């Protein structure tokens, strides 16, 4: 037991250190562009974890999830840019974006409560498109979203004079802006993981899974399926809203084309490819689907040049080709995802107080 | 005890369950016609009849999966109409299903813990903070689930996924899950279907124990011997109508019942 505990601490320490130095190492080895990719990976992990609550836990197939990302991003962009002349601080806007996204989650959830499977997928798909098209067209008669041109000059996130939009000097170290964003996103990602992990192993989490497994039986056992499903939609949506706000502050620019159906599908792929319902799997799915395409984008050209002395296939098309092949292979060989959810093999709490400690919970397994 | 906080119930009086002139139709098909029956506190009440007689339809009405088209449904002093399943579960009616409906990818323990859902409070905050009260409730749920698994005899495999349990175990797990809701009335839809003689004997003992704990049992079953041995009173449905009701001996010798269901020559 003691040895186990020490190991756990060692693991935790090692992981923390690795996560902290990651942007610097990446910067040194591969260049700053890759730190930016890591930032995006973190944003997508948050999105994937949010969608995982809806799809992975509660089993409600949502094909319009990117709408909540858009709501969060536009909330941020509208409240902190010259577009409406507002410049609110980000620690007000982010929660506001999460709340608004949550509200939209309920708005989507309420009319679709009786729909299942394919039918729900079609309605959510429509919802995602409606939001995007609204954003695209809300420039007339009153210009709110600036239409297809999007909103630019969005304020960077800042606390007092400390802006994440500029490179900063800390303890004599120069820390670039992308690195600063990395740390902020990492913090939020860990928060989202914590919330998801705790919910998963709770009365609410069990109710979600019960609905996924058999909605009629769940109802008959006394679960108020309406409330519990709405809760899943709202929770999932609010994660999307947070991620969207962070995205807007990081990019400094938002436009409707970032929120296409393809994005929803990518996020869904992260959940499914990684392992639906398993937090670690979903995180892995997010990393793979952000990083691998970039590897192809940057690597496929030079590799062909080196192998054949000529670029045969355009790296951009190569990227989508490989992505498609990878999806098919994974779904054929590991239909439950790369890192599927093995139900917790928790010991019966026969040993009494020993079971009180938090360590019985292990999201990694 | 159930609280009077839903609009779909009003005060009424005893017995535990009272159905008066229940009607249910699906399009032109009359599934139940003028069915009246009452179940007393603490008895084992059997519901028999040929396939398609309306037994499961009646169960679905009792548990809120179907809404009745006519008649009155009184339970434990309240009248119910157009109530959602979770309201009836909270009122104290728990059921099992004819074709087992467990949560296949949850463990046996978790299946039973889902049954505790409506008798526990923990919400999102409790889940996030895990304060002592929340942990206590969670621990009590787990403990209660273990006891119930023990009670139905699946305690050796609490962490097995429900789908990996044997058929008989799955049937018993459904009973444990229903018991976890602290029911006043336990409605079992063909619990002995597909069981061998030993398993049926175990089930019989189990149902006796459940009744002795003060839980009223309503039983649909095709195993006539089991029904006759176990039940205090029996009702017989045929084509959506109640054709007989009474003690097992009375029902067994009722010519109409013999013609419709039991078969053979009237004694």
Whether the CB of B99 is below 8 Å from some CB of chain A: the reply is: no
Q: Per the structure block, which two tokens stand in for A185?
A: 């996103």
Please give the Cα distance from A130 to B132 (Å, whole number): 45
Q: Which of A194, A221, A231, A336 to mutate to test the interface with B (most CBs of B within 10 A)?
A: A221
Give the pLDDT score at A363.
Answer: 36
Would you call B158 and A223 a contact, using CB atoms and an 8 Å cutoff?
A: no
In this prediction the ipTM stands at: 0.91
Q: How far is CA A26 from CA A31, A36, A149, A177, A287, in A?
A: 7, 10, 33, 14, 15
pLDDT tens digits, one per residue of A83-111? 999 999 999 999 999 999 999 999 999 99
pLDDT tens digits, one per residue of B92-144? 999 999 999 999 999 999 999 999 999 999 999 999 999 999 999 999 999 99
**From A278-287, A315-324, B65-74, the region with the lowest mean pLDDT:** A315-324
Would you call A217 and B97 a contact, using CB atoms and an 8 Å cutoff?
A: yes
Would you call A221 and B104 a contact, using CB atoms and an 8 Å cutoff?
A: no
Give the pLDDT mean for A32-39: 94
Please give the Cα distance from B257 to B182 (Å, whole number): 34
The rounded percent of chain B whose pLDDT value lies above 90 is 84
Q: Which of B5, B6, B61, B85 to mutate to test the interface with A (most CBs of A within 10 A)?
A: B85
3-state SS, one letter per residue, for chain A? CHHHHHHHHHHHHHHHHHHHHHHHHHHHHHCHHHHHHHHHHHHHHHHHHHHHHHHHHCCCCCCCCHHHHHHHHHHHHHHEECCCCEECCHHHHHHHHHHHHHHHHHHHHHHHCCCCHHHHHHHHHHHHHHHHHHHHHCCCCCCCCCHHHCECCCCCCEECCEECCCCEEECCEEECHHHHHHHHHHHHHHHHHHHHHHHHCCHHHHHHHHHHHCHHHHHHCCCCHHHHHHHHHHHHHHHHHHHHHHHHHHHCCECHHHHCHHHHHHHHHHHHHHCCCCHHHHHHHHHHHHHHHHHHHHHHHHHHHHHHCCCCCCHHHHHHHHHHHHHHHHHHHCCCCCCCCCCCCCCCHHHHHHHHCHHHCCCCC
Measured in angstroms, the CA of A98 and the nearest CA of chain B are apart by: 16
Give the pLDDT mean for B247-266: 85
Give the pLDDT mean for A311-325: 79
* Minimum CA–CA partner of B115 in chain A: A221
pLDDT tens digits, one per residue of A138-179? 998 899 999 999 999 999 998 888 888 888 888 778 889 999
Give the pLDDT score at B10.
Answer: 55
Give the pLDDT score at B262.
Answer: 84
Report the candidate in A136, A360, A95 with the shortest Cα–Cα distance to residue A260: A136
Would you call A223 and B141 a contact, using CB atoms and an 8 Å cutoff?
A: no
Q: Which of B90, B114, B148 to mutate to test the interface with A (most CBs of A within 10 A)?
A: B114
Is the separation of the CB atoms in A211 and A114 below 8 Å? no
Is the separation of the CB atoms in B71 and B20 below 8 Å? yes
Give the pLDDT score at B156.
Answer: 87
Would you call B102 and A218 a contact, using CB atoms and an 8 Å cutoff?
A: no
| Domains of chain A and any CATH numbers | 1-30 (no CATH), 32-275 (1.10.3470)
Please give the Cα distance from B229 to B80 (Å, whole number): 32
Read off φ and ψ for residue A178, nearest 5 degrees: -60, -35
Is the separation of the CB atoms in B173 and B164 below 8 Å? no
Measured in angstroms, the CA of B234 and the nearest CA of chain A are apart by: 25
Per-residue pLDDT band for B9 (boundaries 50, 70, 90) equals low
Chain B residues touching A216 at Cβ < 8 A: 65, 101
**From A300-309, B44-53, B141-150, B243-252, the region with the lowest mean pLDDT:** A300-309
If you average pLDDT over every residue of chain A, what do you get? 88
> Structure pTM?
0.89
């Amino acid at each position: 037991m003691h040895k186990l505990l020490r190991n756990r601490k060692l693991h935790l320490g090692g992981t923390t250190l690795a996560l902290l130095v990651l942007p610097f190492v990446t910067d040194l080895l591969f260049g700053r562009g890759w730190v930016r990719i890591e930032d995006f990976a973190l944003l997508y992990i948050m999105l994937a974890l949010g969608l995982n609550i809806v799809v992975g836990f509660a089993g409600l197939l949502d094909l319009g999830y990117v709408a909540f990302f858009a709501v969060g991003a536009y909330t941020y962009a509208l409240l902190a840019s010259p577009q409406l002349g507002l410049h609110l601080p980000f620690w007000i806007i982010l929660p506001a974006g999460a709340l608004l996204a949550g509200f939209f989650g309920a708005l989507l959830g309420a009319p679709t409560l009786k729909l299942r499977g394919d039918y729900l997928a079609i309605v959510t798909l429509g919802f995602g498109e409606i939001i995007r098209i609204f954003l695209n067209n809300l420039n007339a008669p009153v210009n709110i979203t600036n239409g297809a041109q999007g909103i630019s000059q969005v304020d960077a996130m800042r606390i007092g004079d400390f802006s994440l939009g500029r490179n900063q000097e800390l303890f004599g170290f120069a820390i670039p802006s992308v690195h600063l964003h990395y740390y902020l996103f990492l913090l939020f990602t860990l928060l989202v993981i914590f919330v998801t992990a705790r919910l998963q192993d709770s009365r609410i989490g069990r109710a979600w899974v019960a609905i996924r497994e058999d909605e009629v039986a769940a109802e008959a056992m006394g679960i108020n399926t309406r409330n519990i499903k709405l809760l899943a939609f709202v929770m999932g949506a609010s994660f999307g809203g947070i991620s969207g706000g962070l995205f807007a502050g990081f990019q400094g620019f938002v436009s409707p084309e970032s929120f296409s159906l393809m994005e929803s599908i990518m996020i869904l792929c992260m959940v499914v490819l990684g392992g639906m319902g398993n937090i670690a799997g979903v995180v892995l799915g997010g990393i793979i689907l952000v990083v691998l395409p970039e590897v192809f984008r940057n690597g496929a050209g030079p590799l062909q040049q080196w192998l054949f002395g000529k670029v045969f296939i355009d790296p951009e098309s190569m990227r989508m080709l490989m992505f498609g092949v990878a999806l098919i292979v994974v779904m054929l060989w590991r239909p439950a995802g790369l890192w599927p959810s093995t139900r917790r093999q928790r010991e019966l709490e026969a040993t009494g107080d020993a079971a009180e400690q938090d360590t019985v919970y292990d999201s990694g397994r | 005890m159930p609280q009077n906080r839903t609009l779909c119930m009003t005060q009424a009086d005893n017995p535990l369950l009272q159905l008066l002139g229940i009607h249910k139709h699906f399009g032109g098909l009359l599934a139940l016609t003028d069915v009246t029956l009452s179940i007393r506190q603490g008895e084992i009440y059997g519901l028999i009849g040929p396939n398609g007689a309306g037994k499961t339809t009646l169960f679905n009405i009792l548990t809120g999966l179907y809404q009745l088209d006519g008649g009155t449904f009184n339970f434990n002093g309240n009248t119910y109409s157009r109530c959602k399943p979770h309201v009836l579960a909270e009122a104290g009616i728990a059921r099992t299903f004819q074709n087992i409906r467990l949560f296949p990818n949850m463990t046996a323990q978790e299946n039973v813990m889902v049954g505790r859902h409506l008798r526990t409070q923990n919400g999102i905050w409790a889940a996030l903070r895990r304060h002592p009260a929340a942990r206590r409730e969670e621990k009590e749920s787990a403990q209660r689930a273990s006891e119930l698994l023990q009670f139905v005899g699946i305690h050796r495999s609490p962490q097995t996924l429900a789908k990996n349990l044997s058929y008989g175990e799955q049937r018993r797990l459904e009973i444990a899950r229903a018991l976890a809701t602290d029911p006043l009335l336990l409605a079992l839809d063909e619990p002995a279907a597909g069981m061998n003689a030993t398993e049926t004997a175990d089930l019989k003992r189990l149902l006796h124990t459940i009744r002795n704990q003060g839980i009223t049992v309503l039983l649909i079953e095709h195993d006539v011997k089991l029904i006759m041995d176990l039940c205090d009173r029996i009702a017989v449905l045929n084509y959506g109508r109640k054709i007989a009701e009474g003690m097992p001996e009375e029902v067994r010798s009722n010519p109409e019942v013999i013609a419709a269901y039991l078969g053979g020559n009237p004694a």
